Amino acid sequence: MVLRSDSVLKKPSTWPAELLRRLWNAKELILTLLAALIGWIIILEIQDYHPLVLPPPGAVWEYLVAEWSSLAKETLWSFYEMLLGFALGGSLGFAMAIAIFYSPFVHRAVYPYVFGFRVVPKVAFLPLFLVWFGIGLTVKVVMAGTAVFFLVLVQTHLGLATVDPSLVELGKSLKMKESLLLRQIRIPAALPAIMVGIKLGITYALTNVVVAEMVVATNGLGFLVVRARQQSRTDGIIAVIIVTAIVGILVYQLGRAVERRFTFWYFEERTG
Amino acid sequence: MATDVEVVAPPSEPVAPPARRSIDRIRRFSDPLIFGVLITIGWQVIIQIFDFHPVVLPPPSRVWTVLSTQGDFLLESMLDSLDTIIRGFLYGSLFGWAAGVAITYSPIVRRAIHPILVALFVVPKAIFLPLLILWWGVGGFPDHKIVVTMLLAFFPVTENTIAGLSGVDREMTELSRSLGGSALFMFRKIALPFSLPFVLAGLRIAMTEAFIGTLFVEILVPNEGIGSRIVDAQDVSNTQFIIAAIVVIAAFGLAAYFLLQWIEKRLTKWY
């Protein structure tokens, strides 16, 4: 363990100072967002758009306040479906990657098809999945799982195939059995690549859950936006977009936190 | 924040392991074929054993019938979609490239706009569709289909352009400046060629994203294109048509991917 000088020498900063520093660093971003908000108000002052086309910011805020309980409930639904799909697709993708890694036949036989399916938009499968799974929870979980499956498969295989050969040699010279070698050396060394798959996979899962929800329209954020459109509530559409944006960013940050938690050594090596 | 999003593609990714012996070269083609035949036989056997209704899982022969008898219709619908895909891809990647250049060379633009773009990348963009339909409508200009396709094609090109331009060799730029090269000259002769492999890799991702965007809109708001025909088939429980359409989309998706990869290889031999 190398003691890193900056962690010792850096002055401990109090959180208000830290918050101020971060806000100051993001001043241009904050100004842009403020300018967009002011632009929105000015446009409405100049041209008297119907609220159906462009509602005032106040209306969106009121919608957020009035509907917060249903927004929170449907957000949790989407999140739940996303996690189930992620678990399903991720575990299958991981298992498939290991099969591909150990069997040259499976590699040659299956990989071209995996590659082909990756290029097809997953949304094209949605009508087929609707026939097979109906309009319940399953179809959304499967949609999310499909997206995660290919990403985790490709990333895991990439990671396993590019492990430093000297590490594997070391394990072999210690007479490690292949199962131990896989668990103790190959998978840990492949983690940086696997984690990229997991981090991006979780956002893909959310995207596909929302897509499925917009078509099935029984619950979740996708349902809320479709309902707002059917009710001609443009303020509602914008409110749901804002909530979805926040959820998307939080989910990505969650993925990043998981990545940092398991591969902190990789980032320390990279940034020095 | 810029490097947090790992959508930057490696200039080319291997599909199959390198073939060393001639037997490997043969097996690279024979193994996928064997697998494909096994899957088709398994598909047929499963239908025989479990007695699935053709609506749930039609036999491969029915899918083949659709492909051979309605091939023209499928192709025509696919070309309709392809029109949107290509236009959305072109506009989206053009704007994406311009945004990438602006973000790389202007610190203010970078700090003001790049975080918004990065955030936009992780937000499910499908959620914007109702608003885009409201503003651009069906048949308006630009069509909402193209706007969604552009939105999806935009981001990979932006990120890859930034990655490519930021990686330009400093010494070469310094040398050129000391020899009196103008900013425009350096951009054209150094930055552009150096960022090209990254931009082209971004275009490859953007093409796949453009397919996603167009298909998504066509399925959610059916009017024309192959996605809408899939929805029609679903309404009349014509499952074999859905599967045949997926096969056609996959064929075109792969063709577009390999075309771009071929262009990439041709233009970046020196890289």
**Together in a domain, A18 and A125:** no
**Chain A: closest CA distance from residue B244 (Å):** 11
**Together in a domain, A199 and A221:** yes
Distance, in Å, from the CA atom of A254 to the CA atom of A246, rounded to the nearest integer, reads 12
**Together in a domain, B148 and B194:** yes
Q: Residue A105: its chain B contacts at CB < 8 A?
A: 31
**Together in a domain, A62 and A171:** yes
Three-class SS state of A176: coil
**CB-count exposure of residue A255 (10 Å: 0-12, 13-18, 19+):** buried
B169 touches chain A (CB under 8 A): no
Length of chain A: 272
**Together in a domain, B120 and B228:** yes
A262 belongs to a structural domain: yes
**Together in a domain, A21 and A153:** no
What is this model's ipTM? Answer: 0.82
Average pLDDT, rounded, for chain B: 83
B159 belongs to a structural domain: yes
**Together in a domain, B192 and B143:** yes
pLDDT reported for residue A93:
94
Structural domains counted in chain B: 2
CB atoms within 10 A of CB A116: 16
Structural domains counted in chain A: 2
In tens, the pLDDT along B166-220 reads: 877 777 777 777 787 777 887 877 888 888 888 998 998 899 999 999 999 998 8
B54 touches chain A (CB under 8 A): no
pLDDT band at B21 (very low <50, low <70, confident <90, very high): low
Q: Residue A108: its chain B contacts at CB < 8 A?
A: 16-17, 27-28, 31-32
Of B210, B115, B99, B118, residue with least CA distance to B165: B99
Find the CATH number of the domain harbouring B179: 1.10.3720.10
B240 touches chain A (CB under 8 A): no
Of B231, B123, B218, B217, residue with least CA distance to A210: B123
**Together in a domain, B65 and B41:** no
**Together in a domain, B43 and B70:** no
**Together in a domain, B47 and B173:** no
In tens, the pLDDT along A110-144 reads: 888 888 888 888 888 998 898 888 888 999 999 99
B11 belongs to a structural domain: no
**Together in a domain, B148 and B36:** no
Domain that holds residue A17: 12-46
A52 belongs to a structural domain: no
pLDDT band at B223 (very low <50, low <70, confident <90, very high): confident
pLDDT reported for residue B11:
45
**Chain A: closest CA distance from residue B260 (Å):** 13
A252 belongs to a structural domain: yes
**Together in a domain, A124 and A42:** no
- Which of A128, A234, A266 to mutate to test binding with chain B, by most B CBs within 10 Å of its CB? A128
* Interchain pair A128, B36: CB under 8 A: no
**Together in a domain, B65 and B45:** no
Helix, strand, coil fractions of chain B, as percent rounded to 5: 80, 0, 20
From first to last of the 272 residues of chain A, give the pLDDT tens digit.
Answer: 444 545 455 556 678 888 888 888 888 888 888 999 999 989 888 888 888 888 999 999 999 999 999 999 999 999 999 999 999 999 999 999 999 999 888 888 888 888 888 888 888 899 889 888 888 899 999 999 998 999 999 999 989 988 888 888 888 888 888 888 888 889 888 988 899 899 889 999 999 999 999 988 889 999 999 999 889 899 999 999 999 999 999 999 999 898 888 887 777 766 54
* Interchain pair A222, B31: CB under 8 A: no
**Together in a domain, B137 and B204:** yes
Give the predicted TM-score (pTM) of the model: 0.84
**Together in a domain, B115 and B147:** yes
Domain that holds residue B28: 16-51
Highest mean pLDDT range out of A2-16, B29-43, B129-143? Answer: B29-43
- Which of B46, B122, B148 to mutate to test binding with chain A, by most A CBs within 10 Å of its CB? B122
**Together in a domain, B108 and B177:** yes
**Together in a domain, B110 and B148:** yes
